[in-house]
Amino acid sequence: MYKRIVKWFLIIVGLYLLLFGVVIFSFGKDVSQTYINTHSVERFYDEKIGPDRAIVIDSMEDAHSARIHLIENAQQSLDISYYSVEPGHSTDVFWGLLVEPADRGVKVRIILDGVANGVRSKQQDIMFMIKNHPNMELKFYELPNVWKPWTFNNRLHDKYIIADHMLAILGGRNIGDRFLASDDYEGERAYDRDVLVYHANDDSRSSVITDLSVYFNEVYDSPYAKQSMDTLSKKEQLRGREKEQQLHTYITEERQQRHHRFRQQIDWKEITLETNKITLIRNPIHRFNKEPWVLYEVFQLLHTAKQEIVMQSPYIVPTKKMKAGFLYEDNEHDVEMKILTNSRGSTPNYPAFSVYLRYRDDIVASGAQLYEYQGNHSIHTKSYMVDDDISMIGSFNLDPRSAYLSTETMMVIHSKEVRQQIQELTDDYLEQSLLVDQNGAYQTLENNIPERPVSWFKFMVLMVVGFLGKIVAFLL
């Protein structure tokens, strides 16, 4: 009798977790007619030069230096939102620097994803340090609850910093050595892209940074954003103070050893480029399946193309609805489409890539030029370009998770100069990539790039995972 009760209890719990942790997310939503009626594609364009300037940052060294500069020079506020903050050298610099502006009165607010960060005990002393500080706050977005399995799929995937409502850096990079390492870093790298937006104080016109700040507050004040702890014990307070002192010492040593990275004189107004308009697009904030706002906006812009579309995404998992959005059956304008993603050799994401392989032939058959990156490490960039004047940069992957499940942010930039800069950066990746032909093989190109070798183990895992991955592709 006892065994039977336990058996049925486990069956019921298992079905409950399966239903509300997996099955419920298989029903993708459509964008509402209300959203469509109030968000025309024309709003992304402007004939005049706008109030915001921008520069695209690909280099890890430059990306790290830009973040250091924003933190070191903040005078009033720092609002920070990241999916993942991975332990390592770059992260120690990040945490250590944040204490300095807080010490001089800058209000520092941080929100991190609850699954990617909230369960990491290695950074507990950091949490104690922040809780101790009167000018620092840390929240986690949707801490996981095993009895509420839907919480595991309500993820914060944004990656940005806002400094003084005047500067913002936004893109696909997380905080960690894989994304921000120095040239001497010997581990695996994930090449990514940011856009830094500058708004001059002397320009009274509305800035996209204002919109990003409004969005940050909406997420930060949402019911899903929770502080990790209410009060600290005396022991925890002591550990927090000790961690703060350790980081002060660490930053002092870093400034001595890598002085070129710190206290740089950067004139952002001088080095950024003019834009006609920059617009923030983002997903809704709620649990369960979301209306795919970012996906809708990206596809709307792709459909305005007259000459060229260039898409770069580390993961491509085109479900039926998504595939219909960018693989044209009737390419009436004869638009050239280039798609760049990882190869078997470079991908670190086995489930997503294994499902992509099942759609690979369909992508090529559509007439798109499909390039797969063969260089060292992997690409993590998410950017989409239309003709010679529209660029989109941010956290949005071309997959169902970014479309329907996670918070996502993208900057839509109307600027020929920024578009040209991205083209030059993308060309560097294309030169290290191979073009997939109609038979699924690689074409021989002038760059003579060799195919990146794939271990037998990785090849077999991708094949096996592919059969299983298609069943839960809506979660990838």
State pLDDT tens for residues 87-98: 889 999 999 999
Question: Which residues lie across from 394 on neighbouring strands?
Answer: 410
pLDDT of residue 328: 63
Residue 210 has pLDDT above 90, yes or no: yes
pLDDT at 228: 76
pTM for this predicted structure: 0.95
Neighbouring residues of 369: CB distance < 8 A, sequence distance ≥ 6: 336, 337, 338, 339, 435
Buried b (16+ CB within 10 A) or exposed e, 302-314: bebbeeebbbbbb
Segment 262-277 shows an average pLDDT of: 93
Compute the distance between CA of residue 313 and CA of residue 439 in angstroms, rounded to an integer. Answer: 22
Mean pLDDT value across residues 145-157:
92
* pLDDT at position 182 over 80: no
Contact between residue 314 and residue 379 where contact means Cβ atoms under 8 Å apart:
yes
Q: Is the pLDDT of residue 69 over 90?
A: yes
* Cα dihedral 296/301/302/304 (nearest 10): 130
Residue 262: its pLDDT value, please? Answer: 86
pLDDT-based confidence at residue 205 (cuts at 50, 70, 90): confident
pLDDT category at 469 given cuts 50, 70, 90 is confident
Residue bearing the bigger pLDDT, 182 or 135: 135
Q: Average pLDDT, stretch 147-162? A: 94
Provide, rounded to the nearest whole percent, the portion of the chain with pLDDT above 70: 97
Q: How many Cα atoms are found within 13 Å in the side-chain-facing hemisphere of 412? A: 21
Please tell me the predicted confidence (pLDDT) of residue 55.
98
Supply the pLDDT for residue 316: 93
pLDDT at 4: 82
Please give the average per-residue pLDDT across 160-177, as a whole number: 96
pLDDT at 163: 97
Comparing 56-65, 415-424, 436-445, the range with the smallest average pLDDT is 436-445
* The pLDDT of residue 110: 97
Contact 364/440 with Cβ under 8 angstroms?
A: yes
Residue 50 has pLDDT above 70, yes or no: yes
* pLDDT at 164 > cutoff 70: yes
Tell me what the pLDDT averaged over the chain comes to: 91
Placement of tokens 């991205």 in the chain: 422
Mean pLDDT of the region 106-118: 92
> 387: closest CA among 337, 326, 433?
337
For the packed helices 124-132 and 234-257, what is the interaxial angle rounded to 10 degrees? Answer: 100
pLDDT of residue 120: 56
pLDDT at residue 16, as a whole number: 84
Q: What is the pLDDT of residue 132?
A: 92
Report residue 444's pLDDT band, with 50, 70 and 90 as the boundaries: confident
Least confident of 16-25, 289-298, 320-329: 320-329
- Quickly list H helices, 258-386: 268-271, 293-302, 320-326, 350-365
